[in-house]
Amino acid sequence: MADTLINALATLLTFQHLLYMLLGVSVGLTVGVIPGLGGIAGLSLLVPFLYGMDEVSALAMLIGLVAVIPTSDTFSSVLMGIPGSSASQATVLDGFPLARQGQAARALSAAFVSSMFGGLFGALVLTGFVVIARPLILMFGSAELFMLTLFGLSMVAVLAGRSLAKGLAACVVGLLIGSIGGSPATGEFRMIMGFDYLYDGIPLVVVGLGFFAIPEIADLLRRNAAIAEGNALGSGWGQGLRDWWRNVFLSLRCSGLGCMIGAIPGLGGSVVDWIAYGHAVQSTKTDPKFGQGDIRGVVAPESANNAMQGGALLPTMLFGIPGSGSMAVFLGGMVLLGIEPGPAMVGADLDITYSVIWSLAIANVMGAGICLMLALPIARLTRVPFQVLAPFMIALICFAAFQATRDLADLVALLVLGVLGVLMKRFGWPRPALLIGYVLAPQAETYFYQAVQFYDWGFVTRPGVIILALLTVASVVLGLRNRVDDTGSAGSVEAGGTDRQRLPQVLFAAAIGLFFLWALRDALGHSFLGMIFPASAAVIGLAMIALLLPQLVTAAPGHKARFDAELAVTPDQGLAGMWGGIGWIAALVAGSAVLGFYAALLLFFPAFLLLRARTRLVPAALMTASAAGVVLLLAWALSLNFPYGLAQEHMALPWPFS
């Protein structure tokens, strides 16, 4: 075994193999930087190279790709508040406030070194466990998987914000959005309102961008300043390295968590960053500033999401079950290379496994090194006036959103959820709680149903279930003690408002209540198995609204449930400003519906730059041209057809307008 391990390293360390790995790493870093693009887009770019390549080079390239996506996706999470991929959503919570305080370089370097550490840890675990992992993975049956989703949901306790009722209601909104589409047990379609698009549910990318990116863009546009307040980029990346070292044990624990969650097939990678973040909050005793720029909130998810890739390789290679989205892509690549995953990976094909592991380790070092070098120059982006940056970001998130299903409806869903996100931000409803609910809803429902089918109610007495239940209870107790408030500096008493000013937040809570009622009505139209999950969620949600509404109506100003960020803004940034950013995004979406995305983009850019950012004609033209060029290049490389607008329905237009 040790021989095979050393031989695999020796084989890998040739110029040709490392060159291919560098190619994979470069593509991985690029698609990681662009929000919404991930391993799937990366594979489309690399597959044409796979033919005629030797196995080691090809695996080095593919692993290079998937290993570094969670490294570089940090850039947009920290710098723009836009999750670069689903694995970096939690990083936004503290990374972005740090960038706004002018400490982008510090946050980035801490993130990259954590990523590297997590990645190396993942490779190490893989080396030790790959041979004995099979029985361990088989220990997790549907009952244990259900308990794991409950453990994931327990993080809502940490992320519920100032008012627990609000937090739980937000989580229920997420659970209900997550149960749109086919029910796992019966295949009945729930809450689809007659839209074909909703049959498959709303894609994760759209939900992530809608709730995190759009409210941020709307907010930044309103302030009309650069992202970083003040001029200094702050103490540079040396500080970030020291931050990581000071929290090395946190990084280690989160790497372990990430690896474990990755290795268990079925939980999915999009929750690992939240669990790590929740753990960081629960375990921090000294001076927590989570939600307002605590470096530990960056170190934890970034350690976990890279370590997860190592863990996720276990079920991928041993059982052919992809532990995450990018692993599905890696699996496809393996099949194209003629490698069939299965027990042979730790038998006859052990050399392949070890070359995968070494590739993972080396790619993580490569990726983090390149990102560290780029951190300082890229962090300067935060000093660019935001109105100039904004059209690029709006174009980018729209482009990212319709990667999900390549449908105009992706953009409409993005806009609708974006409006909801803006309102939630305004009224202090915790969006992370919603996201956790959304991500875990399908798993919670499926595994619960399967566990009852397989084990009957007796599943609650299984030892694994009991252990996980105890962990969940501990997590809730710890979480309630250390709750994160992400409402930021505006979360002071005056934001509660006078009695007369509280109408908007009461109306919003009531509207959410109506949504729950509607979901309950929809659920009751289905069979028992199709209805029980959304109906239970809706009932819990209604109970929370029943608690919350009286608080909002009667409680004194300064009560923890009362919050309206609008009351803390200065009069010159009125309500119109709040909707300005959304208005521009809506214009781009409407333009796409009429003219198609590309033509709409060509009009949107100059319009925004000239009318809103008030740039001169020449720079506006140059920026439009460069954006058009980049989008075109991406679309061409991904062999992407833009969604049709009305114009395309009626006449044949040449690509990229078609």
Q: How far is the CB of 158 from another protein (least distance, A)?
A: 29
Rg (CA), the chain: 24
- Spatial CB neighbours of 282, under 8 Å, sequence gap ≥ 6: 158, 475, 478, 479, 481, 482
Q: How far is the CB of 343 from another protein (least distance, A)?
A: 5
The single-letter code of the amino acid at 112 is F
Q: How far is the CB of 207 from another protein (least distance, A)?
A: 16
Q: How far is the CB of 364 from another protein (least distance, A)?
A: 22
Choice between 104 and 318, CB closer to another protein: 318
Residues in contact with another protein by CB under 8 A are 40, 43-44, 47-48, 51-52, 137-138, 141-142, 182, 184-189, 196-197, 199-200, 265-266, 319-322, 328-329, 331-332, 335-344, 405-407, 446, 449-450, 453-454, 527, 529-530, 639-641
Question: Residue 190, SS3?
Answer: strand
Q: How far is the CB of 537 from another protein (least distance, A)?
A: 17
* CA 403 vs CA 153, 410, 638: distances in Å: 28, 8, 10
Choice between 139 and 467, CB closer to another protein: 139
Q: How far is the CB of 103 from another protein (least distance, A)?
A: 37
Choice between 246 and 462, CB closer to another protein: 462
- Per the listing, tokens 């970001």 go with 393
Question: Residue 37, SS3?
Answer: coil
Choice between 331 and 600, CB closer to another protein: 331
C-alpha span between 451 and 472 (Å, rounded): 18
Could you tell me how many residues make up the chain? 658
Q: How far is the CB of 350 from another protein (least distance, A)?
A: 15
Choice between 40 and 590, CB closer to another protein: 40
Backbone φ and ψ of 224, nearest 5°? 55, 25
Choice between 438 and 533, CB closer to another protein: 533
Angle separating helix axes 431-455 and 142-153, nearest 10 degrees = 160
Choice between 337 and 374, CB closer to another protein: 337
C-alpha span between 406 and 639 (Å, rounded): 12
Choice between 96 and 449, CB closer to another protein: 449
**189 forms bridges with which residues in the sheet?**
182
- Spatial CB neighbours of 585, under 8 Å, sequence gap ≥ 6: 214, 217, 394, 398, 414, 415, 418
Q: Do residues 58 and 50 make contact, with C-beta atoms less than 8 angstroms apart?
A: yes
Q: How far is the CB of 336 from another protein (least distance, A)?
A: 6
Q: Give which of 246, 252, 258, 259 is closest to 295, Cα–Cα.
A: 246
Choice between 337 and 647, CB closer to another protein: 337
* CA 150 vs CA 3, 111, 446: distances in Å: 42, 28, 12
Q: How far is the CB of 334 from another protein (least distance, A)?
A: 8
C-alpha span between 10 and 82 (Å, rounded): 40
Q: How far is the CB of 322 from another protein (least distance, A)?
A: 8
* CA 299 vs CA 48, 240, 423, 480, 515: distances in Å: 36, 10, 29, 22, 37
Instruction: Indicate the DSSP class of residue 340.
Output: P
Choice between 384 and 637, CB closer to another protein: 637
